[in-house]
Structure 1
Amino acid sequence: MAVLVAGVVMAGLARQSARNVLQQSLAAQADVIAGQVDERGLGPRAAGLGRVAQVVRGQGIVVVLNLPKRGIQSNDPRSTQAATAAGLGDAGGAQRISAQVQVDGSDYLVEARGLSDASGFALVEPVHLAAGTWRILVRNILLALGTGLLVAALAGALLGRLLGRPLRRTADVAAAMRQGRRDLRAPVEGPVEVAEVAAAVNELSIALQHSEARQREFLLSVSHELRTPLAAVHGFAESLADGVATDPRHAGQVIQQESQRLDRLVSDLLDLARIGADQFQLDLARVDLRETLAAGAEVWRVRCDRQGVRFRLDLPPVPAVTTTDPRRIRQVLDGLAENALRVTPAGAQLTLSLTRLQNAVQLQVRDGGPGLAPEDYAVAFRPGVLNQKYRGRRPVGSGIGLALAHGLVTRLGGTLAAGPAPEGGAAFTITLPAT
């Protein structure tokens, strides 16, 4: 495209350059003729000017005269019109006129010279290139265009090969990733932009590999959590169906408890899937969190007593008011307390505390269990991470609860952080803006 545009521009410039050369040649001849005319006008030298006119007529040039009382005249009407259009009638007093005019669709070059007695003359030449000259010009332009197109094609082919090879390899890697391959890497080579694309595809492949690995681990932990209550339900249901259950009431209670556990697990999974969606329901209201914490403490005090765990509730003396969803806050507290009680041994302490800060309120669930390693705090809220690490070493849940709690608190405009607790175990801190 650039070569073609250059060719069009080149043709126009060549044509204009040819006109300029003809104009300059015509102007030089007009200056020579004007120098041969007597200062008193055309009269004494008119015959000599006529001989000059005969000479230049052989070059395709017409001499148009502007004589006093006789006006503009020549032996070519079109040349007379061109000279008139260029302003020969107003030329006088050694005035010079250079113009390009059009008469009946034809272009003419005009060089007019004024004389001291309000007379003057003009040299008029039609603008045309000889057939041979025009063919040479067109041939040269086409040769330049052909050379430019050939160079452009070679450069384009070389550049396309340079860019296309690494891009094709990157595309092949992307196609393999679409089929499920995660072990391939695109070669980071070629121009900077192409290398950046390959590096981005490689980073995407690594990220997908890690994400899918986490998903598999999460599914494994969820499957493990589902298998235990399902096995209990299946076993006791079989014993009831076969009539071999020694205590049908106890079997029914176990089935009920395990089905409730399954229901909670499924509900947590659904909440975790919906928490990022716009339709996730929140019922916001101004709440004094002292009341929410006190209501939850009644339940957890009883459960701690059953397991021999000491329970403590710390409430501030002043209201701790915030705008939040009390049902979701209670859900988060119950989930954190459930995890804490699971790992707290008999005789240790589980603490629920509420603190009123200047512009925020803080709720904490602290336990006296084995705690977490320092590197666990940063990944504690990723689904299934702690379950994968501590399964078989201590009582663990599905790994969904912490992820769900983090998502809920974030959706409510707060933060949830993990850290060490003064009781010796782990502390989970919820921070919400105060109202």
Structure 2
Amino acid sequence: MRVAARRGSLRGSIVLLTTTVAAVAVVLTGLFAWRMISTNAEAQERDQLSRQAQVLARTPPLASWMLNRQQRIAGPEEIRLALVHPSGEVAGPAAAVVDTQRRRALLAGHDVSATAMLDGRTVLVEGTPTATGGGLVLTEPMSAVDQATDRMRGGLVLPLVLGLVGAALAGAMLARRLTRPLVSAARTAHRLSEGERGLTVAAEGPAEVAELAGALNTLDAALAHSEGRQRDFLLSVSHEIRTPLTSARGYAEALADEVITGDEVPEAGRVLRTEIERLERFVGDLLALARLEADDFRLDTGETDLDALVTEAAEAWAVRCARHEVDFRLERPGVPLTITTDGFRVRQLVDGLTENALRATPAGKPLVLALRAQAPGAVLEVRDGGPGLTDDDIAVAFERGALTDRYRGIRPVGSGLGLAIAHRLATRLGGTITAHGRAPEGGARFTVQLPPHPGAGPPDGPYPPRTSA
């Protein structure tokens, strides 16, 4: 609110803007109308004077004494009359304005419209031919035009003022319509930042404001879902940590209290080492995932022979698989397959997927690590002969702890972070990772497509997993 007070409110800005625009429009309109009123007033007076002249021209002047009578018919003293006889003689109070050119025009049957000086005053001159061959001329002082102009300009002020006031009121109403949902959205955003959830912003106002409200509602739902997932994950983490800690603490207390002695001590030590290694793996997975999600994560890229990399990895995993009586197989091109990537991270990705597959593969079943070229990059696959994945499993395969929570107590599970780490590693390397429900070996299949260099794949960032049944 302090920022709004310092920078000025949107409502005030809208009112000021609309009022300013209205004021500029009123001034421009007023200036234009001010000039046009004078021209229109003169045109109206000329038209009226011309009509009077045409009416009087229909009354033929029978004699010179009719001149005074026609003068009275013409109107007030301000309007003066001149009569041009067919002989060219001009008579009447306004005879002075009928010069030779105007007299010839009237005698030739043409109308006359001009401005002239009469008794020191500027007058309008309107003349029309008569039926007898002469002409009749009426004059009116320019002061009559000025008076008409003043009346019309006086009537212009009120509409302009009303227009300005109306624009200000319209601006205030518009500002209220626009800012009310914005203020509501801002308040909701503040409440969201303070931890409140389940809030709803009414989608009212213009389309853009309604879109903002919809985005906040979506954000609220996303935050609630994300925080729920985080709580579930933290509960899972606490469970994973508590179990080995409880076991290690029990054996440590037994050793300290000399409950375990003699030949039992080496076995207790092996249990302690196993539980500590389990904790180390779990904490290592957490740190790896945290580093992968950090904005400053960097890749050390270089020319990497993937054929040599998987051959080296196969040597290590063949030994581990043999200990678990799992049939390990390697499928590779047998020739160098070089791309520009981070070899250490690719090996980390291979190890993570292979460890996940080994955990789910029963004794006597196969586990396959495969590499093949596929333009424009390469494809890594890890296939196993385990129980495989359902369609529902595939939908959440790369979410932290999702499969671990689902299969805890049913099949061997790890920390729940391995596939999430694999997904982030593949994304960081510019590639994609896909989970398939069934492999030719009967279990799950995970496919990683690596680009020829990191910049050739999807841009770095969190992406939803690509999955296929």
TM-score by length of 2: 0.66
Contact 1:328 1:408 in 2 (8 A): yes
- 1:360 and 1:158 mapped to 2: Cα distance? 60
Structure 1 residue 432 and structure 2 residue 450: aligned? yes
Structure 1 residue 288 and structure 2 residue 305: aligned? yes
Unaligned runs of 5+ residues in structure 2 are 1-18, 51-79, 81-93, 102-114, 124-141, 454-469
Contact 1:225 1:397 in 2 (8 A): no
Structure 1 residue 349 and structure 2 residue 411: aligned? no
- 1:317 and 1:407 mapped to 2: Cα distance? 28
Contact 1:320 1:434 in 2 (8 A): no
Greater shift after overlay, 152-161 or 177-186?
152-161
Tell me the alpha carbon deviations over residues 11-58 of structure 1, each in whole angstroms, 9 at most, x when there is no partner: 3224313543587689x99xx98972347xxxxxxxxxxxx988442x
Residue pairs, 1:340-379, within 5 angstroms: 340-379=357-396
Contact 2:301 2:342 in 1 (8 A): yes
Contact 1:217 1:388 in 2 (8 A): no
The 1:294/1:18 distance shift into structure 2, 3 A limit, reads closer
Residue pairs, 1:263-302, within 5 angstroms: 263-277=280-294, 279-302=296-319
- 2:116 and 2:304 mapped to 1: Cα distance? 111
**1:13 partner amino acid:** F
Contact 2:97 2:117 in 1 (8 A): no
| 1:414 positional shift | 2.3
- 1:34 and 1:397 mapped to 2: Cα distance? 119
SS at match of 2:386: coil
| 1:372 positional shift | 0.7
Q: Which residue pairs with 2:220 in the alignment?
A: 205
Q: Which residue pairs with 2:138 in the alignment?
A: none
Q: Which residue pairs with 1:396 in the alignment?
A: 413
- 2:292 and 2:340 mapped to 1: Cα distance? 19
The 1:20/1:150 distance shift into structure 2, 3 A limit, reads closer
Counterpart pick for 2:341 among 310, 324, 328: 324
Q: Which residue pairs with 2:326 in the alignment?
A: 309
| 1:289 positional shift | 2.3
The 1:355/1:192 distance shift into structure 2, 3 A limit, reads closer
- 1:396 and 1:221 mapped to 2: Cα distance? 12
| 1:207 positional shift | 1.7
| 1:304 positional shift | 2.0
SS at match of 2:260: coil
Tell me the alpha carbon deviations over residues 298-322 of structure 1, each in whole angstroms, 9 at most, x when there is no partner: 2222222222222222233333222
User: Aligned pair count?
Assistant: 361
Structure 1 residue 222 and structure 2 residue 284: aligned? no
Unaligned runs of 5+ residues in structure 1 are 40-51, 62-124
The 1:288/1:34 distance shift into structure 2, 3 A limit, reads farther
Over aligned residue pairs, what C-alpha RMSD do you find?
3.8
Structure 1 residue 143 and structure 2 residue 158: aligned? yes
- 2:40 and 2:363 mapped to 1: Cα distance? 110
SS at match of 1:275: helix
- 1:434 and 1:10 mapped to 2: Cα distance? 67
Q: Which residue pairs with 1:9 in the alignment?
A: 28
Greater shift after overlay, 229-238 or 204-213?
229-238
Q: Which residue pairs with 2:167 in the alignment?
A: 152
Contact 1:7 1:141 in 2 (8 A): no
| 1:142 positional shift | 3.5
Greater shift after overlay, 384-393 or 185-194?
185-194
- 1:405 and 1:312 mapped to 2: Cα distance? 21
- 2:439 and 2:41 mapped to 1: Cα distance? 99
- 1:234 and 1:375 mapped to 2: Cα distance? 38
Tell me the alpha carbon deviations over residues 357-391 of structure 1, each in whole angstroms, 9 at most, x when there is no partner: 45432222111111110232243112222223222
Q: Which residue pairs with 1:91 in the alignment?
A: none
Tell me the alpha carbon deviations over residues 107-163 of structure 1, each in whole angstroms, 9 at most, x when there is no partner: xxxxxxxxxxxxxxxxxx99x967x975x5665343213322443355445545555
- 2:274 and 2:401 mapped to 1: Cα distance? 23
Structure 1 residue 333 and structure 2 residue 341: aligned? no
**1:363 partner amino acid:** L
**2:31 partner amino acid:** G
- 2:38 and 2:452 mapped to 1: Cα distance? 85
Q: Which residue pairs with 2:397 in the alignment?
A: 380
Overall identity of the aligned pairs, in %: 48
Tell me the alpha carbon deviations over residues 324-381 of structure 1, each in whole angstroms, 9 at most, x when there is no partner: 2222222112111211111212222222222234543222211111111023224311
| 1:9 positional shift | 2.2
The 1:374/1:15 distance shift into structure 2, 3 A limit, reads closer
| 1:294 positional shift | 2.3
Q: Which residue pairs with 2:58 in the alignment?
A: none
The 1:240/1:139 distance shift into structure 2, 3 A limit, reads farther
The 1:162/1:431 distance shift into structure 2, 3 A limit, reads closer
**1:10 partner amino acid:** T
**1:186 partner amino acid:** V
